[in-house]
Amino acid sequence: MSSHRVTEAKKQLSSLIQRALKGERMVITRHGHPVVELTTIAAQGRPMTEADLEWIRARRAGPRPSGPDAGRLVSEMRDEDDERLFRR
């Protein structure tokens, strides 16, 4: 893991990003103290596997319930409220 001062990193940001994309991890320092680690986002996680997808499929909610969709249900409820208000 390499270390770079903030001023140096600002001048070389494009090349540091290219190095990070190749898998190198770098630390940016300010006044000699580490403040930021530069690495790719993909390097922080792991790729999703077929087993992960199967786990998601097995726990996914079932088919959508029959009946009105949310928009229609809200409209019906609003209409009922309007009818009650105007009957008074």
| 51 falls within a domain | no
Compute the distance between CA of residue 5 and CA of residue 69 in angstroms, rounded to an integer.
56
| 34 falls within a domain | yes
| 87 falls within a domain | no
| CATH code where residue 19 lies | 3.40.1620.10
Residues spanned by the domain of 39: 2-44
Stretches in the chain below the pLDDT threshold 70: 42-45, 64-65, 88
| 52 falls within a domain | no
| 68 falls within a domain | no
The pLDDT value given to residue 16: 93
Number of domains in the chain: 1
Assign 57 to helix, strand or coil: helix
State pTM to two decimals.
0.46
Q: What angle do CA 76, 82, 85 make, to 5 degrees?
A: 145
